[in-house]
Chains A and B, each alone.
Chain A
Amino acid sequence: MNHAGFIIATYGITFGVIIGLVAYTIKQGRNLSQTVADKDKPWT
């Protein structure tokens, strides 16, 4: 593959950021839901 460094860097940045954001969102949601009453979580 030509320009492999640039191509792999692009995929690495994109998927790395997505995985990081998803993990952060799940963790933040779980932490917050432990401190908030169910009545304030209308999706439950």
Chain B
Amino acid sequence: MSTETQTYKGVGTPTTRMYGLMAVVALGWVLLGGLFFTPEDAVQGDAVRIMYVHVPTAWVAYLAFIVTGIASACWLIGKKHSMGFDRVAGASAEVGVLFMAMTLLSGSLWGRITWGTFWVWDPRLTTTAFLFVTYLGYLAVRGLGGTAEQRARRSSVIALLAVLEIPLVHFSVVLWRSLHQRATVLSPDGDIKMDGLMLFTLLFGVFGFTVLFAWLVSHRQRIKAMQDAQQVTALDAAVTERLNEVQA
């Protein structure tokens, strides 16, 4: 443990507290609006309520993996190879994997209602599962031994390859025949056929989950910074101890 002063507790700042507050408000509405206030869908009935969590979690997973890719590229291209980029990449991938798991679970439950089965080897589902496994591998590679720079280098390369899967997942419903429905809000013709309150709840949910993502990545990259600092301190202490032993 460091002998220097530790006066600041936690990793929060006024900005992240604001993110947290906005996320609580937005997710509170998703919970209440999604379950109780929004109308049933004309075709799917109450099953459409799963959409208010399924779509935002999928969006956050995509966003997280894109942020991981961008941060990894910044680390590789940057002359200073700032470890801050690597920590953001790692934190974002952790959050992305968790949200991707939630997407697969919520999609599976939704599929059981609408398709009559929890899982089918459909192009969208299969490519999503593949993306999930790829980023699990990315996190496993980050956990391998070596210096922080070695970790950053190998994981950056994997992140830049893995991010190429995202367009494949997104356009899988267009490229192949798929059970999964095509994009409703991001449809190419721009014609959104959705009730106003449903659309508001969906978009407010996307906003809330995005702010939550920003909160999580901010906090988790600071945790990683402290873990790295702790490792350096422990290494310095071990070297000093060894030098003292040699000199004695």
Contacts and interface: CB of A to CB of B under 8 A. Distances in A.
B6 A35 contact: yes
B6 A13 contact: no
Interface in B222-245: 222-223, 225-227, 229-230, 233
Main SS at interface, chain A: helix
Nearest to B95: A21
Nearest to A39: B4
Main SS at interface, chain B: helix
B11 interface: yes
Interface stretch (B103-111, B122-130, B144-152, B195-203): B103-111
Interface in B1-47: 1-2, 4-13, 27, 31, 34-35, 45-47
B222 A10 contact: no
A11 to B, nearest CB: 6
B50 A29 contact: no
A14 B220 contact: no
A28 B223 contact: yes
A8 to B, nearest CB: 8
A37 B109 CA distance: 46
B83 to A, nearest CB: 12
A22 B216 contact: yes
A44 B35 CA distance: 40
B9 A17 contact: no
B13 A38 contact: no
Contacts of A14: 53, 57, 102, 106
A27 B229 CA distance: 18
B212 interface: yes
Q: Which 6 A-B pairs have the closest CB atoms?
A: A37-B4, A40-B229, A29-B11, A44-B8, A37-B2, A32-B226
Interface of A: 1-4, 6-11, 13-15, 17-18, 21-22, 25-26, 28-30, 32-44
